[in-house]
Amino acid sequence: MSLPMSLVIAQAAPAAAPANPIFSFLPLIALFVIFYFLMIRPQMKRQKEHRNLVAALAKGDEVVTNGGMAGRVEEVGESFLTIEIAPNVKVKLQKTAVSQVLPKGTLKAS
């Protein structure tokens, strides 16, 4: 009785050496490192800068909110602040709604 040729070849092939498990995870680790430096780290830096900006708000600062309103800070509370957006028009909003602080004198006094 003769064996089929494919079976003979399969029996003659040497067993493959098992791959090192570190090399199988290497692309995943590299992807995480790239993801960290391109997305996570810059976002953490922006959050830290915004936290410092909000903590440094003081009366008289000229600010722009996330909604695009520009005004002068009139009162600063623990989590809220009041800005004057026009003469005798004051708006109360959360401190975190401030997106940037403008240089002094940017808003013209009316």
Determine the pLDDT at residue 95: 94
Half-sphere exposure of 27 (CA within 13 A, CB side): 1
Decide if 85 contacts 73 (C-beta within 8 A).
no
Determine the pLDDT at residue 21: 77
> How many Å apart are CA 53 and CA 60, to the nearest integer?
14
Joined tokens for residue 29: 């680790």
Angle, alpha carbons 16-20-25 (nearest 5°): 125
Domain covering 58-110, topology: SH3 type barrels. (2.30.30)
Interstrand relation of 62-65 and 70-76 (parallel, antiparallel or unpaired): antiparallel
Residue ranges covered by each domain of the chain: 20-56, 58-110
> How many Å apart are CA 12 and CA 8, to the nearest integer?
6
Determine the pLDDT at residue 23: 80
- Digit-by-digit pLDDT tens for the chain (110 residues) are 555 555 555 555 565 666 777 888 898 999 999 999 999 999 999 999 999 999 999 999 999 999 999 999 999 999 999 999 999 999 999 999 999 999 988 887 54
Joined tokens for residue 18: 């098992």
Determine the pLDDT at residue 16: 60
Could you tell me the pTM of the whole model? 0.69
Determine the pLDDT at residue 110: 42
